[in-house]
Structure 1
Amino acid sequence: MLVIDSSFPSRDFNQRNGEPVRQIILHYTAAPFAASLRTLTRGGVSAHYLLPDPDEPSYHAAGYDELRVFRLVDEDKRAWHAGVSHWCGRDNLNNGAIGIEIINLARDDGGVFTFPEYGREQVDMLIALVGDILGRYPQMGPMDVLGHSDVAYWRKSDPGPRLPWQCLFEAGIGAWFDEATRAMYQRRFCLGLPPEVELERAFQRFGYKPALNRREFELRTRAFQMRFRQRDYCGALDGETCAILYALNERYRGI
Structure 2
Amino acid sequence: MKPILYNKFRSIKSYNSRIRFLVFHYTAGNFSNSLSTLTGPNVSAHYLIPDMTDQSYLEAGYREQEVFNLVDEQHRAWHAGVSAWGSRTSLNDTAIGVEIVNLASFKDGVFTFPPYHPAQIEAIETLALNILGRYPDIAPTQVLGHSDISIGRKSDPGPRFPWHALYLKGVGAWFDETTQQTFQDQYTQTAMPERAELLRLFKTYGYDVCGAVNDQGFTQLVRAFQLHFRPERYDGVMDVQTAANLAALVSKYFA
1:228 corresponds in structure 2 to 229
CA distance in 1, matches of 2:87, 2:44: 24
- 1:226 deviates by 1.1
1:243 corresponds in structure 2 to 244
Answering whether residue 111 of structure 2 is matched by residue 113 of structure 1, we say yes
1:201 corresponds in structure 2 to 200
CA distance in 1, matches of 2:109, 2:142: 29
Alignment of structure 1 residues 60-209 onto 2, 5 Å: 60-190=58-188, 191-209=190-208
CA distance in 1, matches of 2:35, 2:148: 24
Secondary structure of the structure 2 residue equivalent to 1:77: coil
Task: Report runs of 4+ in structure 1 exceeding 3 Å deviation.
Answer: none
Q: Which amino acid aligns with 1:242?
A: A
- 1:153 deviates by 1.4
Superposed CA deviations along residues 9-34 of structure 1, whole A, max 9, x for unmatched, are xxxxxxxxx97100000000000000
CA distance in 2, matches of 1:208, 1:172: 22
Superposed CA deviations along residues 50-108 of structure 1, whole A, max 9, x for unmatched, are 00011111110110011111111000000000000000021100000000000000001
TM-score normalised over the length of structure 1: 0.91
Answering whether residue 12 of structure 2 is matched by residue 28 of structure 1, we say no
CA distance in 2, matches of 1:209, 1:31: 28
Q: Which amino acid aligns with 1:214?
A: D
CA distance in 1, matches of 2:160, 2:239: 21
- 1:43 deviates by 4.0
Q: How many residues align?
A: 237
Secondary structure of the structure 2 residue equivalent to 1:231: coil
Q: Is residue 182–residue 243 contact of structure 1 (8 Å, CA) maintained in 2?
A: yes
- 1:151 deviates by 0.2
2:8 corresponds in structure 1 to none
CA distance in 1, matches of 2:232, 2:184: 17
Unaligned runs of 5+ in 1: 1-17
CA distance in 1, matches of 2:112, 2:137: 35
- 1:139 deviates by 1.6
Secondary structure of the structure 2 residue equivalent to 1:54: coil
CA distance in 2, matches of 1:66, 1:42: 25
CA distance in 1, matches of 2:162, 2:96: 20
CA distance in 2, matches of 1:130, 1:212: 35
1:12 corresponds in structure 2 to none
Q: Which amino acid aligns with 2:35?
A: L
Q: Is residue 19–residue 95 contact of structure 1 (8 Å, CA) maintained in 2?
A: no
Q: Percent identity?
A: 50
Q: Is residue 26–residue 99 contact of structure 1 (8 Å, CA) maintained in 2?
A: yes
Q: Which structure is larger by alpha-carbon Rg, 1 or 2?
A: 2
CA distance in 2, matches of 1:57, 1:250: 45
Secondary structure of the structure 2 residue equivalent to 1:21: coil
RMSD: 1.1
CA distance in 1, matches of 2:69, 2:108: 32
TM-score normalised over the length of structure 2: 0.91
Superposed CA deviations along residues 131-156 of structure 1, whole A, max 9, x for unmatched, are 11111111212111100000001210
- 1:212 deviates by 3.0
Secondary structure of the structure 1 residue equivalent to 2:133: helix
- 1:240 deviates by 0.4
Q: Is residue 183–residue 243 contact of structure 1 (8 Å, CA) maintained in 2?
A: yes
